Amino acid sequence: MSSIMHTPSVLMRSTTLGQNLKLRESVGDLQARIAKLTEQQTSGFWASSHGELRSQSTLVQGLRQKMSTLDSYLRTIGQVQTRIEAQQGAADVLQKAADGLGIYAMSALNSDAEVQLRQVPREAFGALERIITSLNTNIEGRYLFSGADTQTRPVQDLYTILNGKSGKMGLKDAAANRLLADLGGPIDDATNPPDGRVTVSRTGTRVSVVHDGGAFGLKLKSASFSSGSIQPTAPSTGVERTSTGSRLDVDFGTVVNGDQMMLTFQLPTGETMDVTMRAVTSRSAVPPEGVVEFEVDDDMSITSANFVNALRDRVTEIARSDLAGASGVAAANDFFDFYPPRIVAGTDPANATSHEISGAKAIEWYDGPRGPRPTGSLVMGDFGGMAQGDGVTLPTPPAIGQRYFVDPATEASAGAGAWAGHPNEYAVWDGAAWSFSAPAIGERMVSGDNFGTPGQLVQWDGATWNTVVGPAVQDGDRVVVGAGARAADEGKVLEFDAGTNTWGIATDQPTTVLDTTGNRVGHFNGIDWDWTAAEDGYEMVVGSGTSAVLYKVDSGFWTPRGTPIEDPADPRDTMKAKIDDSTWVSYGARANEDALREALKNTAILAAVDFDPDMVEHYHALTSRAAPDLKGSAASVVDVRTAIGVSQNRLQVTLDRHEDVRSLTEQQTLRIEKIDEYKVAVELNQLMTQLQGTYSITAKVQQLSLVNFL
Amino acid sequence: MSLFGALNTSLSGLRANQVALDVVSRNVANAGTPGYTKKISPRENALVAGQGQGVRILAVTRQVDARLQENLRGEESRSARLSTVADFLKRIDEMFGRPDMQTSLSYTMNEFANSMSELADNPENSGVRKAVVAQADMLARQLNQLSASIQDMRSEAENGLALGVEEVNNALKGIESLNREIANRQAAGLTTADLEDRRDMHLATVSANMDIRTIERGDGIVTVFTSSGHVLVNERAAQISFDSRQVLTPENAYSDDDYERNVGTLTLTSPGGNQVDLLKDGPPRQGKLAAYLELRDERLPEAQAQLDEIAHTLAMALSTRETAATPNATGSTLSFDFAAAPLQQTAAGDTLADGQSMNISYRVSGQERNLTVYFVEDPYNTSLLERVPDPDNSVFVAVPTAFPATPSMAQRIYDAVSGLVNVPSTLFTDPAGGEVLTANSSGSVVVNSFTMNQAWTDTADGPQLNLFRDGNSDRIVQQDYTGRLSDDKWAKVGLAGRIGVNTALLEDDSLLVRYTRADGVEVPDGDNSRPAMLLDRLTEYRYQYSADTGLGDASRPYRGTVLDLGRATVTYQGMEATTTISLAEDQAARTDLLNERHASLSGVNIDDEMAQLILLQSAYSASAKVMQTVDALFDDLLSLRR
């Protein structure tokens, strides 16, 4: 490949040796070039190693690298598109199922014909099947609605959810138990009609309405008195809280036609119902909406008796319809919104007053990863109440519901009265009589006015109240004021201020707390606290930001478990795919997302509760609450699908862009690397001709030697 | 004058022609012999007492231009060096691979990144996980093979040096004996042309191995010097010795200090007994010896350094746990608290280890700057500066040996940094003995990022993963590679030959996805955070690379992703090979020209000899004719009768 340089001043005499060498060199040179061109022709590339590309080597490598990266992005996009399409399909099925059921149910309600309503459970069953199947969609061995845990099937199968498995109850049994707890007895009991845990009784002209269902039943929320003839019994001014619920005592004065009072009840779902009790001389055939009439009599005892009966009937009516319906919806909420599910505590649902969270007694419908854990605050217990004892006499008049402590000095004193014989016990006045109970060892209270130092956290050790101090009580410790406690602060969370050594009301009132002295989780429902026992594995986040700590029940104790990772609050972020440099697209989904869960929940309760032709109002009430939620949830599913659709669009746009760039890059690379076949062929031809020429000339030159002529 | 005189004269003519014919026949016989120069038989008019008495044959000489020969030898030296180096570099270029073929190192690295990206899409798929492990293994093995090949080439160079030295010694001895003979014969007036040819061949051998200068003395002895002035041959020959190590590994390197040097060196022993280490004082600059030295001590170690840098970056990038500093409420400061987790020490030597570093990148009046703090066992060790990529912007801080550390870690770092001239004084606040180190953005200084980088060796802790470890054979216990700087035997040297995939992964490939998060929860099967982070480290994170690799230099180190480094390495080798090959070709052309000149001056031309033959033939016949005539005249004379 060396060029021939002519230097005219050099004596170029061809010596034999020189001739030989020169010949060999030029022939060898030509042959090498021919070999190179042949190789180029066969391979299609003109360089056989990076070095031959010289300065363009970097460029070519960069282009090839870019194509390889684009290929991997294209492959990722293809896969993600497949998965998203499957998600959209599944969400579509779910949406149609929920929507269809919602429409059917609404039309069944409007048609007033029992026949259609009777079919709702079956329709719901079918819809539930479709919903569960679509949530369990599996493609390429991955479950699409299980967040990052793609190998776990998210939702239990239909039969397990409804009927339970291996001794654990399913939705049907949980709802049935809740119905018993809310109603106080079987719904179709004729001899003992369900009373919604509300007892209406009378002593003379004093009527008592007592709700003792705790977390269940028809909660008595408030009462309003528009006529002076019916007034709450002093010193009470209205509905009073008790340890198991609430009560109202009213005295009947001289009641005349037209006098009325209103009671406000709260259903398990939180909605309120007003019952207006009106005194009338004669009851009308069709009483006005929301009004219950009772006959007035000259004898107030009879009037009050009529009042009691009318109210009892109305309560039973409500129990059999709205309460029963709301109970079903609440049962579904408890079953689907809590992990493990929240069920009626204890073994006697009709008399139960609290929930428990138990994975041992009820099956969990969802196996996938959880969303963000519930957040709450730590408390050291639930207060029994403020203990008061003045050491000398009984308080008069006693406050209804207020819990007093009978200290031995008072009991032994002359003015003990009804308290005699009950030292070291609680005494509670229910308006008619005192009831006594002993404090449990370890029980805590905030000391009242007559204690050595009021406002202290004290703990019963079996003989005395000891002030809980030192490391046990620290600045910032909190407690919940429980039932029967200082009335004004009922239900609030108190915080200890070490500086002033007092308990004050905490500035932020949390609605979820966990009791570190026992496995209890408290939920504030606006009126009172529901305490539920928590099982091993239940988790909660306490605090926020950098000071957030994850607590978990472990062998019966709450243990801090380190800083909780921010579970992506947005379920989309549970799966991310890289589709471009520093660009990620989120496409995850979880079966327990709000929209999907709502649809599932409402469909499930409609399928779980059987239709009883004798208790149509029950199912009617249930459907009228579940159906609008169904339609609403179907609409929310559309939002979820839209969010996924936006990702789809982004993917397509990126795909098109990558494909364009890739083909351009490929062309650029080939332009640099590939040979021009025609050029190579022509060059090859030329060289071969040259070689042939060289051979023939050489042969001739060899013959030209003086030797031949001597 | 007399007939006898004429007879004698033609006899001398005959003799002269005989000798000339002999020379011609020898020339013709050796026409194709390399190294043979044309001989001529000079003659002169034989003067006896002022009168010509015939022809006198002088010693056969050769036609040689000494200066041209000297030039030619010089060019051949150069040519030998370039072609040897080009040869080796071409082999390296071929090893590093063709741009599009699967043999290329950068292709393998790319495939590894691709398989990792596929894993990020399908973390639960065990087939994909196995593919990632297989690709990683392939990459490690390719690095191993390339490293082994480079060291093999170094061993070849070492052996080449030994052989070359032997060749030179033999040639020098030959020159010594020829020098003596030529001197003797010249003194006696005998022909020395053929011996001189032989001597030239020996000189050619020596010059092919090293660059020399020759001086011809008047008495026929040629003195040979090295280009730096050491005498190789005068009356007696010197001897060069080479203490070869036979097999070289990456740890075998040249050093001026004889205790540390563990490769061979050339020692020239003069006839008087003086010894000179040629590598310290006048190494050969041309010739094969120079080529081998260059390859053994510069080029091949550079290629090895490139491979080691790739191996080091791969191992560190994937296994580094990056902890970011905590910003304050307004974002104007970033700080590390050495008394709090995760940097908190609970016992001596607990969390901070040799080789870990802290990096702060900031802008001063718009100019981007970087500062790295390395934690080492002995910060006063001066060789540490050679081991970091950016020595101008690095400081060294001692790892605490006692617990608690005094002075505090934060204070140590602050003190070390304040010693640097080009770092703004407001960058860090004085911790005043406390444990918190704060970097401030104020005025013209803006802090971009402040991170702590620690190599993590626990596979259960994530999401970083020590995918690559030190040790690739079943017979060696695999060790963690954590980038330690303070060891005498720096682990990075030769790492490419030892790097291997973590054996824990070969047993359980789900470790590519599974890890335990900070709150003690293990991530689910389909969670792609670990593969996604590993992919980012390979394709998005930019690192700084040492100037030993030949890419960038100490003041502006080369920056880029790991894949960029692979590409740059392959390109670099290719360019080096091409440049040297084209230099070698140019040199070959120059040498050819000189060769042609020399050949045309001193080589045998058959036609010339034939022409000479014809002349000699006729001269011989003419002389014979003269003798015949003289003979006839004698007969005439003797046949004279009265």
> Confidence band (pLDDT; 50, 70, 90) for B600?
confident
CA terminus-to-terminus distance, chain B? 26
Distance between CA B470 and CA B455 in Å, rounded? 13
Identify all chain B residues contacting A585, using CB atoms and an 8 Å cutoff. none
Instruction: Please enumerate in sequence order all residues whose Cβ is within 8 A of that of A471, keeping only pairs 6 or more positions apart, or say none.
Output: none
Q: What are the tokens at B68?
A: 């041209």
Phi, psi for residue A646 in degrees, rounded to 5: -60, -40
pLDDT at A400: 63
A 355-374: CB under 8 A from B: 369
Amino acid at A214: G
Give the tens place of pLDDT for each residue, B200-225. 999 999 999 999 999 998 888 999 99
Position A457 scores a pLDDT of: 66
What confidence tier does A8 reach under pLDDT thresholds 50, 70, 90?
Answer: very low
Alpha helix (H) ranges present in B430-561?
495-498, 503-507, 529-539
Would the CB atoms of A79 and B532 count as touching at under 8 Å? no
CA A227 to chain centre: 47
- The pLDDT of A65-80, averaged and rounded, is 91
| Residue among A401, A388, A380 at smallest CA distance from A503 | A380
> According to the model, what pLDDT value does residue B539 have?
92
Which pLDDT does position A545 carry in this prediction? 61
Which DSSP string do the residues of A447-467 spell out, in sequence order? E-TTSSSTT-EEEE-SSSEEE
CA distance B162 to B153: 14
Give A589's contacts in chain B (Cβ within 8 Å): none
Which residues of chain A make contact with B573, given a CB cutoff of 8 A? 50-51
Radius of gyration of chain B (CA): 38
**CA B526 – CA B503 distance, rounded (Å):** 23
Residues of A in contact with B614 (CB under 8 A): 710
Q: Which is more confidently placed, A467 or B606? A: B606
Strand A342-344 and strand A355-357: pairing?
A: antiparallel
Considering only residues 625 to 654 of chain A, which have any Cβ-Cβ distance to chain B shorter than 8 Å?
none
Q: Between the CA atoms of A301, A305, A311 and A314, what dihedral angle is there, to the nearest 10 degrees? A: -150
Mean of the pLDDT values across residues A407-416? Answer: 67
pLDDT for A458 equals: 72
Q: Which of A236-250, A593-607, B268-282 has the lowest mean pLDDT?
A: A236-250
Q: What phi, psi does B90 have (nearest 5°)?
A: -65, -40
The pLDDT of residue B167 is above 90: yes
Residue A325 pLDDT level (bands cut at 50, 70, 90): very high
Most confidently predicted of A5-9, A60-64, B110-114, B407-411: B110-114
Q: What is the DSSP code string of B74-97?
A: HHHHHHHHHHHHHHHHHHHHHHH-
Instruction: Indicate the DSSP class of residue B296.
Output: I
CB distance A72–B33 less than 8 Å? no
AA letter at B381: N
Q: How confident is the model over B89-121, as pLDDT tens digits?
A: 999 988 887 655 677 898 899 999 999 999 999
Residue in the structure block whose two tokens are 């490769």: B263
Q: How far apart are CA A45 and CA A52, in angstroms?
A: 11
As a 3-state breakdown, chain B gives helix, strand, coil percent values, each rounded to 5, of: 50, 20, 35
**In the predicted model, is pLDDT for residue A489 greater than 80?**
no
Kind and range of the H or E run holding B299:
none
Residue A233 is predicted with a pLDDT of 78
All residues at 6 or more sequence positions from A374 whose CB lies less than 8 Å from its CB, including other chains: A512, A540, A541
pLDDT value of position A387:
46
Give the three-class secondary structure for B320: strand
pTM, 2 dp: 0.81
* Of A289 and A406, the one with more pLDDT: A289
* Residue to substitute from A10, A16, A554, interface B, most B β-carbons within 10 A: A16
Give me the percent of chain A exceeding a pLDDT of 90.
Answer: 27
- In the prediction, which pLDDT does A2 show? 39
Greater confidence (A410 vs A230) lies with A230
Q: Is pLDDT above 80 for A406?
A: no
Question: What is the C-alpha separation between A404 and A418, in angstroms, rounded?
Answer: 12
Give which of A173, A267, A145 is closest to A217, Cα–Cα: A267
HSE (side-chain half, CA atoms, 13 Å) at B78: 16
Q: What percent of chain B has pLDDT over 90?
A: 43
Give residue B130's pLDDT.
95
Question: What phi-psi label fits residue A294: left (phi over 0), alpha (psi between -120 and 50 degrees) or beta?
Answer: beta
What's residue B308's pLDDT? 95
- Closest CA relative to residue A233, chosen from A249, A217, A209: A249
Interface of A with B in 36-95 (CB under 8 A): 45, 47-55, 57-58, 60-62, 64-65, 68-69, 71-72, 75-76, 79-80
Q: Is A649 exposed, middle or buried (0-12, 13-18, 19+ CB in 10 A)?
A: exposed
Q: Within 13 Å and on the Cβ side, how many CA atoms surround A593?
A: 27
Mean pLDDT throughout B584-590? 93
Are residues B120 and B531 in contact, defined by beta-carbon separation less than 8 angstroms?
yes
Out of B99, B578, B600, the one facing A18 most closely (by C-beta) is B600
What gap in Å lies between CA A409 and CA A415, rounded to an integer? Answer: 11
Q: Is the pLDDT of residue A450 over 80?
A: no
φ, ψ for residue A688, nearest 5 deg: -65, -40
Q: Are A326 and A621 in contact (CB under 8 A)?
A: yes
Domain locations along chain A: 16-46+675-709, 62-155+584-664, 187-355, 375-566
Round to whole Å and give the CA distance between A67 and A74.
10
Q: Can you identify the CATH homologous superfamily of domain A62-155+584-664? A: f41 fragment of flagellin, N-terminal domain (1.20.1330.10)
- Judged by a CB distance cut-off of 8 A, whether residue B120 touches chain A is yes
CA-to-CA distance for A268 and A283, rounded, in angstroms? 31
Q: B19 pLDDT exceeds 50? A: yes
Vertex B162: Cα angle to B158 and B163 (nearest 5) = 115
SS3 B262: coil
Question: What is the DSSP secondary structure assignment for residue B297, as one 8-state letter?
Answer: I
State whether A141 and B519 contact (CB < 8 Å).
Answer: no
Please state the rounded mean pLDDT for residues A206-230.
86
Q: Does B80 score more than 70 pLDDT? A: yes
Rank A114-128, A371-385, A556-570, B342-356 by mean pLDDT and report only the highest: A114-128
- Average pLDDT value for chain A: 81
- Count A/B contacts: CB-CB distance under 8 Å: 198
How many whole angstroms separate alpha carbon B270 and alpha carbon B227? Answer: 16
**Is A706 within 8 Å of B610 (Cβ atoms)?**
yes
Q: Which of B36, B517, B570 sits opposite A50 (nearest CB)?
A: B570
Taking residues B507-518, what's their average pLDDT? Answer: 88
Q: Which two tokens stand for residue B553?
A: 């230099």
DSSP, res B164: H
Does residue A412 carry a pLDDT above 50? yes
Q: Over the stretch A473-486, which tens digit does the pLDDT of each residue have?
A: 566 677 776 654 45
CA atoms within 13 A on the CB side of A320: 18
Confirm if A434 and A421 have CB atoms less than 8 A apart. Answer: no
How crowded is residue A178: how many other Cβ atoms within 10 Å of its Cβ? 26
Q: What residues pair up with B447 in beta bridges, in sequence order?
A: B362
Helix (H) or strand (E) holding B435: none
With a cut of 80, say whether residue A314 has pLDDT above it.
Answer: yes
* Residue B256 confidence class, pLDDT cut points 50, 70, 90: confident
CA distances from B510 to B131, B465, B515, B536 (A): 12, 12, 9, 19
Torsion of CA A492, A496, A501, A502, to 10 degrees: 0
- Candidate ranges A167-181, A247-261, A515-529; pick with highest mean pLDDT: A167-181
Residue type, B316: M
Convert the pLDDT of each residue in B603-626 to its tens digit: 888 888 888 999 998 988 998 888
Q: Which of A5-19, B310-324, B406-420, B450-464 has the lowest mean pLDDT?
A: A5-19
Find the distance separating the first CA and the last CA of chain A, reported in whole Å. Answer: 39
Query: What are the pLDDT digits (tens) for B347-367?
Result: 655 678 888 999 999 988 888
Q: Is there a contact between A18 and B567 if contact means CB atoms under 8 Å apart?
A: no
Note whether A550 and B519 are within 8 A (CB). yes
Q: pLDDT grade, residue B343 (50/70/90)?
A: confident
Binned at pLDDT 50, 70 and 90, residue A12 comes out as low
Residue given tokens 């406000």 in the structure block:
A264
Q: Specify which residues B239 forms β-bridges with.
A: B269
CA dihedral over B339, B344, B350, B356, signed as positive or negative: negative
pLDDT tens, position by position, A353-396:
878 877 788 888 988 877 666 667 777 665 554 444 444 455 56
> Cα–Cα distances in Å, from A527 out to A275, A330, B248, B468, B483?
19, 16, 84, 60, 62
For the purposes of burial, counting CB atoms within 10 Å of the CB of B189, is it exposed (0-12), middle (13-18) or buried (19 or more)? exposed
Q: How confident is the model at residue A71 (pLDDT cuts 50, 70, 90)?
A: very high
Q: Which of B208, B235, B180 is nearest to B82 (CA)?
A: B208
A328 pLDDT band, cuts 50/70/90, is very high
ipTM for the predicted complex comes to: 0.77
pLDDT at A554 over 70: no
Report which of A118, A172, A109, A123 is spatially closest to residue A615, judged by C-alpha positions: A118
- CB burial string A301-338: b at 16+ within 10 A, e below: eebbbbbbebbbebbbbbbbbbbbbbbbbbbbbbbbeb
Nearest CA in chain A to B38: A15
- CA B611 to chain A, closest CA, distance in angstroms equals 8
On whether any CB of chain A is under 8 Å from the CB of B577, the answer is: yes
Q: Which residues lie across from A378 on neighbouring strands?
A: A514
Q: What pLDDT is stored for residue B393 in this prediction?
A: 87
Most confidently predicted of A41-50, A183-192, B581-590: B581-590
